[in-house]
Structure 1
Amino acid sequence: MAGLKRLLLLFPLLAGGACMAQALDLTVPGDADLTREEQSAAESYLLPTGPFADGKVPSIDVEGLVTRQAWRIEGEGLTTLKLLTPLRDQLQEAGYEILFDCADRECGGFDFRFNISVLPAPDMFVDLFDFRFLSARKKDGAAAEYVSCLVSLTGETGYLQLVTVGGGQAPTIEIGEIGAVTPATPPQPVEAAKLIEQLLGQGHVVLPDLEFDSGSAALAEGPYDSLAALAAFLNADAARRIALVGHTDTVGGLDPNVALSRRRAASVLERLVSRYEVPRAQMESNGMGYLSPVAPNTTEAGRETNRRVEAVLLNAE
């Protein structure tokens, strides 16, 4: 298969005293070379299941055959997203449940990196500002297999660490050629009439074109069609009132997320006051943190959808 190399991870199957192996067969974009492999027949591994918080990385202690591999991947136009997405898709197709999926600062940055097990350099390299991680589990009755993937990038060289833990038979994954990852869709122009129609019809509407940096409450410069439409609606009648409500994904604890969602909603309110001259008395702001998701938080796309600010209609007369 041109430009692709399969990554083979072995799980043991003990039967009649003999040890046979089934391979978890994964494919990544680019040209991959195995640079390090360590295997222990009976070992425990702390599998990360959440971002660094309160001085530690939430983990579950899993036991069995532990295989650690480091791969170096060369290819033009590589990104950590292009490296991790095919692995995630293949694991899910094989019936694995994604337990945790994060990118650099969402994981906990420096603290996450240095509180998980990482193979040493030069076999594994982790750029603290450009890495992604996921952990996954597949259950078959009482038995379970676990996989963690850590990817990073330096220049056009990708680094991948795969850790597997399992004592049962794992399926072989037959995968065809992996195409390029489709980039995220940029915010689309907001049609003012439809935005206000949804606000009046449903009582709330997501302001879809707002942009915040990850972990930041500062609203980017804009301009934003959604805010212009909302301002025109409010300025047309002084009796109209709305609440601006911020929402986050599940990365981090509840209290920090509630605080962040409140600050983001407040930033939107201040922009409407300062740039669109909407009277402050017609608006209020608050935040729900991650308590009101509209998509699964197990994928980057789902987390992106959950990071939003909504306008809630309080009074239209």
Structure 2
Amino acid sequence: MDSIGLKNALIINRRLSFAFGCAMLALLLMMGTAFSQTLPNWVQTKTFSQPFTKEYLPNNQINTMTENPASLGILASGILRQTAWKLQKSGLTSAMIMAPLQQDLERQGFEILFECPEKTCGGFDFRFQLELFPEPHMHVDYNDYYYILARKNGALGSDIVVLLASRSNTSGYLHMRRISAESEDRLPFELILGDAVPMAQTLTPAKRANENLENTLISNGFVVLETVGFKSGGTDILVTDRSELSALAAFIKSRPEVSVTLVGHTDNLGSLEGNIKLSLERAQSLLKFMLTEFDVPPAQISAQGIGYLSPRDNNQTAEARAHNRRVEALINQAQN
């Protein structure tokens, strides 16, 4: 996309976000409801803080960056506060989630330094520049996320906020990383997310992960193991969060009548024969991991590989190819 096209895309996106935010405010005024009540059902999934951090925060597209650290973004230092939330609601988009938050930032005197939707940010590569909580605390759909970097200057220095909004088919997700020289604990977005409750008061992350995976397996007959990945051409599994595999193991053990097949997939680089072999080796690598780490009964789990015959993305970019390198768990038969 050329610079004019990118500029027009951002203008259109901001107009849509502004229109959504105005509609939300108009509705609230008609209802006589305070702005702090706009998102009453958000659930805080995780929070973290540390007394000092010094890091670069992305303020440009991934494809315009170089290896020089100073060009990777703005340098921020201070107290780190990081929080993630989840809203159980279908039909959301990242722009819908972000619109009222962006307005609230600007209303409180923050300057928007950089914003982008997933395609203009840089997709898969841009997302993995960001320090985010792993699943199930924060989920990122590589085809629908929105990033904002904002700054407000104060007497003690800059207050910098990084927001990332995304969604799944059933929920919205929001991640905030705030770096500030100020010591007070009040976060800028408590005005909007003030009714969020810690997940510990509802479901533990492990129990929620178990229920989500079980529901997907039962309704669809399979589930993509999103926390398991592979480097191109490699068979060593890269597990970003063990809770998903733990949930799969719990599901198998609780249903002795069920058999699950781990099906390996590849991108389209190389021959079909080579990729079928590679995908099988990947599935077998995960099978061994499930047997040794989670003590899954061997009779209830097996491995297959189908190479690049069933892509879920177009293989035209590095991001799309990484999306296709995966393992799926498939319910394939009932044990007699």
Q: What is the TM-score with the length of structure 2 in the denominator?
A: 0.42
Q: Which has the higher helix share?
A: 2
- Structure having the larger proportion of residues in strand: 1
